[in-house]
């Protein structure tokens, strides 16, 4: 029994109760190489300020002129300059790096998987989430149909880290709370995104705060923010939200970093005071 207690104690010490995290905001161009240079500049800023977890936005590596441009730069899992870059940054800066999204090969020659990749501080890929919900919008002059160039994923992904459990999601997933419920009790949700300005100004903040509140967890939401060469405008407003729905940091537009300290003791106290997760009576429909 004593040995078991020691093992349990040692295991608990592996989980840090406080960690500084960062979300990177970009206005990515069609050029992969220039975007990687910009991403490294921003990662370095975050690390200099003490970040141990850094999350890049959706399409950090490229926002093309056309939706089909991402198919041209797709990579096989574990191969290619974008994934090499992510592994190198994680190892070099000794951080857990969540690579927004990377276009990976799919079962269809004219489509990609829009994949969120997680690297540990040794530069090893430890998790992959393929975007499940594909964005579709026909509103005025704006038309988006991700199903034309993306093959959807079908698996919910949660990754264990030294800083707690992190649930992975991407952009349009934010509108589907059942995805987050399917993750179980996680400590952090990440939502790398490229919300349009139209939908973002209407719903981005309220959806992020809702996901944080209903799951009593922290949310890191790095985004694309600005005008792109394709003519597309993304909403920006990257933010980090605490389990009570308080916005800890926000960046309205342009390249930059949002940062905050995540405190798991504070999170635990909220869950003890308001045990809503234990009060659920409808588990599934």
Active-site annotation holds for 131:
yes
The residue among 189, 192, 188, 204 whose CA lies nearest residue 252 is: 204
Phi, psi for 114 (deg, rounded to 5)? -90, 100
Residue with tokens 């869950």: 271
Enumerate residues 6+ apart whose C-beta is below 8 A from 213: 243, 244, 245
> What's the DSSP call for residue 90?
H
Catalytic one of 38, 52, 58, 61: 58
* 87's tokens: 């592994």
Angle between helix 32-48 and helix 81-93 axes, rounded to 10 deg: 10
Enumerate residues 6+ apart whose C-beta is below 8 A from 36: 61, 81, 82, 85
Catalytic one of 111, 171, 197, 233: 171
As a whole number of Å, the CA-based R_g of the chain is 18
Catalytic one of 70, 131, 217, 233: 131
Q: How far is 265 from 274, CA to CA, in rounded Å?
A: 14
* 50's tokens: 């003490």
Distance of alpha carbon 281 from the chain centroid: 29
Written as one string, the DSSP assignment of 7-38 is HHHHHHHTS-SEEEEEEEEB---S-HHHHHHH
The residue among 40, 44, 49, 58 whose CA lies nearest residue 19 is: 49
The residue among 45, 43, 56, 23 whose CA lies nearest residue 241 is: 23
Active-site annotation holds for 58:
yes
Residue with tokens 């690579």: 99
Active-site residue set: 58, 131, 171
């Amino acid at each position: 029994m004593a040995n078991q207690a020691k093992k349990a104690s040692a295991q608990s010490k592996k989980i840090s109760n406080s960690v500084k995290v960062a979300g990177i905001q970009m206005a990515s161009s069609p050029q992969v190489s220039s975007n990687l240079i910009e991403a490294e500049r921003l990662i370095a800023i975050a690390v200099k300020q003490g970040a141990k977890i850094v999350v890049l936005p959706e399409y950090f590596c490229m926002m093309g002129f056309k939706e089909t441009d991402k198919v041209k730069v797709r990579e096989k899992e574990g191969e290619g300059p974008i994934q090499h870059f992510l592994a190198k940054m994680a190892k070099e800066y000794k951080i857990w790096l969540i690579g927004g999204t990377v276009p990976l090969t799919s079962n269809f020659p004219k489509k990609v998987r829009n994949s969120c990749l997680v690297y540990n501080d040794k530069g090893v890929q430890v998790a992959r989430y393929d975007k499940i919900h594909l964005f579709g919008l026909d509103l005025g002059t704006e038309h988006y149909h991700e199903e034309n160039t993306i093959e959807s994923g079908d698996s919910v992904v949660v990754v264990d880290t030294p800083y707690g459990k992190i649930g992975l999601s991407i952009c349009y997933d934010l509108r589907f709370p059942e995805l987050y419920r399917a993750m179980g009790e996680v400590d952090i949700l990440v939502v790398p995104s490229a919300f349009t300005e139209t939908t973002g100004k209407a719903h981005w903040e309220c959806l992020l705060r809702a996901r944080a509140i209903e799951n009593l967890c922290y949310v890191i939401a790095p985004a694309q923010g600005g005008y792109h060469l394709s003519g597309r405008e993304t909403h920006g407003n990257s933010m980090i939200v605490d389990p009570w729905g308080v916005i800890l940091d926000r960046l309205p537009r342009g390249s930059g970093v949002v940062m905050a300290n995540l405190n798991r003791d504070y999170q635990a106290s909220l869950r003890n005071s308001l045990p809503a997760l234990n009060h659920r009576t409808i588990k599934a429909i």
